[in-house]
Structure 1
Amino acid sequence: MKSKLFSIGFTSLLALVVAAPAAFASSSSYSFTLDNRVVDGSKNGQYHNLSKGSATISGKQHQYSSDPKPVGPNTISYQLWNKSSGNSFGVVKSVPNSDGTSNSVKGTYSGLGGGSKYYLLIFRTDDGRNIKGSGTVSN
């Protein structure tokens, strides 16, 4: 009986330890409309509270309209910045589809630290295409 109770207790503790990191993971959403060259999350108040280590971005983007005679489409860069330190933690790049259908944005940022408040700087060389996107940043 004691052995059975110990096994149940140990299994429960092990399940808690395995599930704990997922429970404490940070995740927040972002959204943007890119009609020109840059969308700055710090100017729009879109901050992400992230922990030290690495973070992932997962989202979608699509062309919702265009100026006459657009070029490209040009690559869109998603750069993660720390508000406190002013450091960048990498760039994830994605080229939007030219036909207006959405495509995915996925990537990893590493070396996070120096504060918990982060923001995305989303930019590209203007190509006359107007882009909307949304997703999550998490770690």
Structure 2
Amino acid sequence: MGSIQMKNKCVKEYYKKLKELFLNMNYTDGKYLRDFRLNLMEYAIVHPDCTYDELVEEFGTPKEIFCEYVGAQDPDYLISCINKKHFRKWMGTGIIAVGICCVFIWALFYYSIYKGSRHDSINREVVIIKDFDLEDNENEKE
């Protein structure tokens, strides 16, 4: 499959329009598109100078192909695909919202540290504590 390439511009355009109609592709949709693409390539090999209109005449418009495919699917399957799409959408939205909240909390935390440390300053003073009693005892010994 990788070595065979679509060389005809019209075939590429037709396939691109058909693929754009499949918004929520899964394995079954992808397999259908691969098989259809092979049919297009075989047609293009037999008819190397075919036009877009000839493809429409042979296969139908991309919209008609898509409608036939969707019409052949089980309604429960289509509903489950729609539900998965909505679940993914809400899951993605939730993950983004949690990420934004985490960044906001992180920013507040570092701002509070900055605000608290802005007025603080580090003083370096060396304090030497001498024990005067110890010095007196040493002086007396001498």
Say yes or no: TM over 0.5: no
- Higher RCO structure (Cα 8 Å, ≥6 apart): 1
TM-score bracket relative to the smaller structure:
under 0.3
Larger Rg: 2
TM-score between both structures, scaled by the size of structure 1? 0.24
